[in-house]
Structure formats: C-alpha cells, structure tokens
Chains A and B, each alone.
Chain A
Amino acid sequence: MSMVMAVMRKLLKNLDWVLLLATVILVIVGILLVYSATHMKGDDPWAFVKARLFHLTLGVLAMAFIILIDYHALARQWVLLYVGNLLALLIVLVIGRETQGAQRWISLGFLGTIQPSEFAKVSLIVTLATHLSARRGPYRRLRELVPFLLHAGVPMILIIQQPDLGTALVYLAILFGMLYAAGAEPRPILGVAGVGLALSPVLWHFLKDYQRARLLAFLDPLKDPLGAGYAIIQSKIAIGSGQIFGKGYLHGTQTMLQFVPEHHTDFIFTVVGEELGFVGAVVVLFVFLVWLWRGLAISMEARDTLGMLIAVGVTSMMAFHVFVNVGMTIGLMPITGIPLPFLSHGGSALVTALTATGLLLNVWMRRKKIWF
C-alpha cells in the first residue's frame, strides 16, 4: 500500500495541471452544452446528461489506468494492441450494429454500444510511435515510409469499410503528424499526399451516395438547400445568429428548434456559437488551443523519441478533430461526422479523449530520467 501511495504522491507532484485544468473545463462545458441541446428531447430532460456522467466515469477510470502504466510498458505490448485493434474492427464489420447506413458500433447489451474505431485511434498512436522509434529516421525517400503506411493503412481500410470516412481521415492526420515529427522529409510526405490525390477519383467511386452528396453540398450548399446543404446552411445560420454575445445559455432557437440536425453530437459547436456567441466560441477554442499547446510542449520535453511521438500523435488527432468539426459547422470543411472532443455527446469519443489525455500525462510525468 505504501508503495502505491508513494507512486500516487509522485504522480500528483508531476501532473500537468494546465492540461488537466483545460480538460476539466472542456468536460464541464460539454455537459452544459449537451444539456442545452437535449433537454427538450424526450421525457427526461436529464437523460443525456446522466448518460454523459456515466461515460465520464468510465473515461476517468480509463485515464487513471493509462497514467499508471509506464508508456514504455505500454509500447512493449504493441503486438497485442495492434492485433486486438484489428480484431475489434473486424468484429464491427461482421456483427456490428448498423445505424444510418454505417456499421460502427458493437452492442454490449445493457452497457449500450461501443465504437471500436474511436479506441483504434489511441492504439494506432501507441503502436505507430513504437514502430517509428524502432526504425529511426530521417526518412528521405517514399520507399522508407512504406512500412508505416502499411501500419496505418490496414486498420484504415477496415474503417473505410464501415464506412466511416471521417475517422479514416483522422488516421491520416495522426500518420502525417507523427511521420513529420519522426523526421520524414517534406518531399516523401508530399509524395504520399500526391499519390492519395491521384487516387481520389477512384476513392470517389467507392463513396456512398450520401457521402458524395455531402461533399458536393460543401462545395455549393445553395444548390440543394433542403438536402445535404440543409445542415450546412442551418448550422451557419445558428452560429451567425449568435452574434457577439450569443442568445444566452438555453436560449438558442435554431438549435432548440432542431433546425440543425445532430446538434448534440456532431453539430454541438452550433450550440456554442448560437447561445454563447463569438465571445463564447473564441473562449472555447482558446481552451482547446491551450490543450493542444500543452500537448506539443509535452512532446518537446519528453524523455525519449517514443514519448515525443506518442504526444505528437495525440495532439495531431485532437487538433484534426477540432479543426474539422468546428470547420464543418462554420462551412469551412465538408460534413464528415467526426465529433468535437469532450463536447459532442458520445461515450466512446469521450472515453477516447480522456484516454488520450491520460497518454499525454503519462509521457509528461515520466519525462525526468530519475523517474523509477
């Protein structure tokens, strides 16, 4: 017992309080927003908040668990992490539950459903960091990147099969962020991107109709104002109408009127924009910026390449989520259905975000050589 206590003391002394504070603020704001977005739904205005608190408990447990295991020990289990991850994604394809044309969830009976592609991101970060630090850069040629492309590509293909294009793009963001930090020269990275672009007409062919419609609607929302363009227009109206100070908490009409679809999940930022205005939106974005800033600070001070890469992977993932999600609500990005970390309703996403935070804290706490 006393040893555990000693560990705990050290942990507390070495926590990144700024990162933790940013996380706590985002979690609280998330609960407030989910309440605002859902209290008009159904019988129990607190139903979504209750679910949120349950997910939060799971997430905090996952975070604590991740903190306690030295990330080096975690990296040593890369085979288990990688293979387990692939199996989970395969299970989704075989027995997963289909909603709205996509198969992303596995049912866990009364516990609800989980979305393995969310957890897969964390697994990718740890295993890819292990892989990259075992096969050091710099990487000057495209050929040298192939092992890593395969590493990320296999789970990506499984996720595209679901189909979940948004999450597959998150994989790309993680991959490129980590490759760059690990020392890939810009030229081979651009080469990969070029090949990707060249293949995009092929990819277009594999997209589902609704995905194509979303992309077209992004390019020209007014062309189909009531179809796929509807969400984009209504989302912009919601955020824009918030003006500088917003309509006040719980007083958004656009989001409450359910003009904005999925406003408690993917479009949660419309509630921020409409009810809290420009000021509130910027404050929320600022907290995200602090979080990401700390993420990169942790990567800079990491004890070794493995820690640095894990931190970069986590930061790339979160940054991509924030930009694509917020960008989508304000018409800068196409609708891809990826959640806003900590704020969107969704259990797997919250647990993943907290686990990712745990990874950063893990790397930060073990930055000093004297640790153990």
Chain B
Amino acid sequence: MSIDPQRRLTILRMAILLLFLVLVGRLWQLQVLRGEEFLRLSEENRIRSYPVTAPRGLIYDRQGKPLLSNRPSFTVSVLPMEVQSSQEFALLGRLLGMDPSEIAGKVQAAIRYRPFEPVRIARDVSLEVVTKIEERRLELPGILIQAEPVRHYLYGKLAAHVLGYLGEISEEELKVRKGQGYSMGDLIGKTGIERMYDRLLRGTNGRLQVEVDAMGRPLRVLGSTPPTPGNSLVLSLDVNLQRAAEEALGDRKGAIVAMDPKSGEILALVSHPAFDPNLFAVGISAQEWKRIMTDPGLPLLNRAVDMTYEPGSVFKIVTALAAVDAGVATERTTINCPGFLRLGKWVFKDWKAHGRVNFIEGVAQSCNVMFWILGRQVGPERLAEYARRLGMGRPTGIDLPSEAKGLIPDPAWKEQEKGELWYPGETLNMAIGQGYVQVSPLQVARAISAIANGGFLPRPHLLRSVLAPDGSVLERVPHGPFESVPVRPRSLQVLREGMIAVVTRGTGRSAAVSGLSIAGKTGSAENPLGEPHAWFGGFAPAEDPQLVVVVLVEFGRRGGVAAAPIARQIFAAYFSEVGRRPGASYAGGSPPGIAGEAPKNAREKNWVGSEILLQGRRER
C-alpha cells in the first residue's frame, strides 16, 4: 500500500477546520449564550486583591535586647479607580486634616503605574479618625483602611545613626531595585542598618483576596497569601555601653567609636546631635523633614563614619610608628625642644618648650618639635604610606552605607590635584596631622585597633547574625577579612609604650581609670571652621586590648581636656560591668541569645570567633 500525501493533507485540513468550529462554538457559548451573565460579572467584579505589608525584621543588640519593635497602626489608602469624584478627596482631606490637593496628587502620581493597587495616603492614623471615616463610608467608596505594622524604636535617639531610618521608596530607588519585590509607597531603609540590610529586614508582602460589596466594603476573605516577616538582625552593639557613651558625650557635638580591636565588632557608635528615627517610621511630614534638614547641627549626619576631620596630634601615632619602623628613631632617641622649629625663613611654634625629651616622653607630651624633626626625616611619602597601611584615607568596609573615604595627601597627590609642588612646611604639618589630612573617627579607631592587637586591621562591623522569623539562626557573620599591617612588632611595642605614657603622665592623664592600664593619644586639630577639634583615641587594657575608644568633640579645643575624660567614662563603664575585669577575655562573651531562647551549645562554640582568628594570625 503506498501512501497518498494529498489525501493525508486533506484530512489535516479537515481536522483544522473542525478545531476552528470547536473554538467558534465555544466562543458562541461564552459570548452570545452566556454573554450577559459574564458582562454582569465583569461589571461588579467583586474580587479585590490587596497587598498585605510584611512586618520588618527586628534588630537586637549583642545581648539579645531588642532595639525596636513593630506596633500595629492604621493606614488609609485610596483605590484610584474607585474614586467617583473630587468631593471624595475633599471629604477625606477634612477627616485626615490634609490638603485635598495633596491627596489628589498622590493618587495621580500612582494611577499611571498601578491603577488597581491601593495608594497610601496617611499612615498611622488614629482610631478616632478611622472611626470617622467608617461613619462616612457611603460617601467614601474608594477608601481602604488597612492595619500595618509600624516600626517603634524603643530607645528613641539612642544609636539612631547605626539603626538609620525609613522613608517611602523614591522613584530612583524603585528603578534600581526593579524586580526585587519593591513597589511604590513601600517603606525602605534610607540610612544605617535599615538601609544596609533592607532586603534581609523587609520580608515579602502577602496578598489578601476579598469579596467586596458595591461600596467597596469587604464582605468576606476569599483567600490570602500571608506575608513573610523579614529576618531579624543581631548587632554587635552593646546597648549599655552605647548609652554610657552617649551620656558621656552629652550635649556636645561629636562622635564616639568603641570597638573590639580583635574582632572589629562595633560595641558603641555615637554621633551627636542625633535624630529620633520614630519620626520617620510612618513617613515623615514635610514640615518635620524641613526642620531636620535645616538644623545647623546636621542631626542626620553620622559624624563617626560619614564625616572626616583633621586628626591633629592623634596622627602622631602614624608619624611615631613610621619613624621607629623606618629606623629614623628608637625609644632612646632624644631631641631638644626650644618651643619652635626654624625652617628656612619660617618659624613653627610648638605649644610649649619641652626642653630635652626622649622619644617616649615626646609622645607622652605630644611635643610638636620632635614630630616635626622625625616627620622631616621620614618624609611625606613614607608618612602617607604608613597612614595608608593603618587604613587611613580609605573606607574601612563597615556595614553602613555612605562611609567617608578621607584623605592622606602626598606630593604626587598634590601635584595631580592642585598642580603645585609639595612644600617642606607641609611635611611638618602632616607630621602632626594638620594640613590636608582628613580621617573619620572610625578610621582612627581601626588604626588604633591594629596598633593594639599587634598589627592587623580588622573590618569594623555591626552585624553578628541573621535570625529567621522563627528565631533560628540563618547566618552568622564571620569577622574579617583582616588586613595585616606590614610593620615590625617591635615598632608597635615602642609606640604602645609611648601611648601608655600619654595616659599615665602625658597629655591624656584625664583618661586614666584606676586599676586599668590604658594607652592612648590626644589631639587638638586646628581647623578652618573654628576652635580646634578635640580628639582622644586609645585602648585598654594595654597588655591585652579588649576595647578601643575614639572620641571626637567638635570645637572641643583640647583633646586632653574635652575628649579624654569622655573616654575615661566609657572605659570605666565597660570594665566595671560584671565579668569584664581587665585581663578577663571578652572574646568568648555571651552568645546573642534572644530572650526566652536557650543558647545552644553549637552556638556558643561558634561565638569564640575572635579567639580562633587570633590563633590563625599567630601562625602566619
């Protein structure tokens, strides 16, 4: 039997025709026979689908104390396609105490993108107002009232710059995060941890499908996809120390960094003046925003991380280290300080005539003449090299957004940026941390950490672990990476001796705490804006460093007078806590157990991270 393609093709044609008839028949059934029924269904399509905001994850300090919570609130939204007339906006505006044109503007802005998603008009509306709206329901069919979780920062301004604040997502942010589950009107972290780890914290919004009546009132829930709460974060911050640090700084403008020099964990991070993140938690009002933005104290600025200053004499730790490590000086080097130094036709004046001083005393007394002489011998290139080795003039890698870079100048930089030659006088300026040098308090803390721990730069960090909504640990953040500082251990030891002398008998005596050996360095940084900035940076116990503290008081004049006593209070607060006597190791400290949850053995084991790292370093 041979095949007959023509016959087969004809059969295929008939098959196609038949299938078309089936389609047409079905269309006849749907559109002609049942058309009216479907038309009615489409006109009163009663099924609405709303997003349900996921609660953001919580943030805990290292002891497991919550720094914030989520409280319920009412949000009033408008369904753009349901609004019948502008009178609705007028009435809603009156009930909410808002300008109707502002409401209309919000709706107009959203209608293009997602005409069927509710547009948030007011967050955290009082129950009283909600009741009033419900009473006028018949006049307000396009209004939706939803319960939403709202952030409540339990300690107000405490650690505000670390936590950051929330705000409505901007169009640019939305564009950048396309496809990551963000939509218009969402709250997003704008600064701090809230921004850095927004994707971990935010969770996934759910959806609620409800059947509504003609007035848009929900009749019954047809189905729902529950929201997935965000993950919680455990920070390295210690609320007690943070509070002690903030109290020690008081009303003065400035910044404090307290960190564990071995692990890089930030224990306290202060910037003053601060803001109250609660103001932003439900979307800040225009007035409030204006007030904060025009505040001359710049409360939103994180002075510890995002701001740089002239380091002044604190920078002498770099000059001293460079001089010893490069073989220009030893601890036995002595110089004569007549109170000034002549360089060509210029005379550089010291703050005091120190007479004959040896190296250690020169550091202790912050003798400018000695550092000028040493700085000249070391030279600007090598000074810059050592500053950079200590992590200055570049980001530290802390897990906060918008960290400042700072600047470590050298002759090549000056020629490139300013088109000018480097003057010998500039080397003298640089040796005492003046001139173009710009560092952040955090960079100073990191450099001192390396000096304290024997020569490795830790990465300052705040996040310890990530917890799933059920409280289980999702991820532990390892310390590091660490960067070793190429200097001889002997040089560091000489420097530490000098820094101990600073606190025992030098310019930093007011940082001393009895029974505790503290090493440090003061600074008074001349600056073009006003009085010198007061600096103190140090660590304790000197023989087994557990805590680095850096204090900066803007326009505080003398580091030894304005900054060192603040550091003393922080050291005292830290080491007076039970179990933290000098000599006792803090590295293995308590696990970040969350209240009500017994720490597991595995967890404790994991938390001696810094000790393990120290061992690893010794082997290197």
Interface residue ranges, A against B (CB under 8 Å): 40-43, 137-138, 177, 180-181, 183, 225-227, 236-244, 253-254, 257-259, 273-274, 277-278, 281-282, 285, 288-289, 292-293, 296, 299-300, 305, 308, 312, 315-316, 319, 323, 326-327, 330-332
Contacts and interface: CB of A to CB of B under 8 A. Distances in A.
Nearest to B31: A278
Interface string B26-55: 111011101111110111010101000000
Given A226-B223, A241-B41, A243-B32, A312 B9 contact: yes
Interface of B: 1-3, 5-6, 8-9, 12-13, 16-17, 19-20, 22-24, 26-28, 30-32, 34-39, 41-43, 45, 47, 49, 81, 112-113, 115-116, 209, 222-223
B31 A281 contact: yes
A236 B38 contact: yes
A292 B45 contact: no
Contacts of A332: 22-23, 26
B116 A330 contact: no
A323 B47 CA distance: 29
Contacts of B43: 241, 253
Given A242-B31, A273-B30, 19 more contacts: A40-B115, A41-B113, A138-B1, A181-B9, A237-B38, A240-B39, A243-B31, A243-B36, A244-B31, A244-B35, A257-B45, A259-B47, A277-B31, A285-B24, A285-B27, A308-B9, A319-B19, A330-B23, A330-B30
Contacts of B19: 319, 323
Contact of A138 (B3, B17, B28, B223): B3
A interface, over-half SS? helix
A257 B47 CA distance: 12
A240 B34 contact: yes
Contacts of A312: 9, 12
B26 A237 contact: no
B112 A42 contact: yes
A152 B113 CA distance: 43
Given A238-B42, A240-B38, A323 B28 contact: no
B43 to A, nearest CB: 8
Contact of A240 (B5, B8, B13, B35): B35
Given A42-B112, A330-B23, A240 B31 contact: yes
From B20, B30, B31, B47, residue with most partner A Cβ within 10 Å:
B31
Nearest to B36: A243
A316 B15 CA distance: 11
B112 A43 contact: yes
Contact of B16 (A138, A226, A292, A299): A292
A269 to B, nearest CB: 10
18 contacts: A225-B222, A225-B223, A227-B223, A237-B38, A237-B41, A237-B42, A239-B31, A240-B34, A241-B39, A241-B42, A243-B32, A243-B39, A273-B31, A285-B24, A289-B16, A289-B17, A327-B26, A332-B23
Nearest to A240: B38
Contacts of A331: 26
B interface, over-half SS? helix
A240 B23 CA distance: 13
A252 to B, nearest CB: 9
A54 B9 CA distance: 36
Contact of B20 (A42, A138, A242, A285): A285
Contacts of B34: 240
A283 to B, nearest CB: 11
Given A42-B113, A312-B12, A327 B38 contact: no
A127 B12 CA distance: 21
Given A42-B112, A319-B19, A137 B13 contact: no
Given A40-B115, A43-B112, A240-B30, A308 B35 contact: no
B42 A308 contact: no
Contacts of A330: 23, 26-27, 30
Contact of B6 (A239, A281, A288, A300): A300
A304 to B, nearest CB: 11
B80 to A, nearest CB: 11
Contacts of A274: 42
From A42, A239, A285, A293, residue with most partner B Cβ within 10 Å:
A239
B35 A327 contact: no
A310 to B, nearest CB: 13
Contacts of A239: 27, 30-31, 38
A296 B7 CA distance: 12
Given A137-B3, A138-B2, A300-B6, A241 B38 contact: yes
B2 A323 contact: no
B23 A326 contact: yes
Contacts of A241: 35, 38-39, 41-43
Contacts of A315: 12, 16
Nearest to B28: A278
Nearest to A239: B30
Contacts of B37: 240
A327 B19 CA distance: 10
Given A226-B209, A239-B31, A177 B12 contact: yes
Nearest to B208: A226
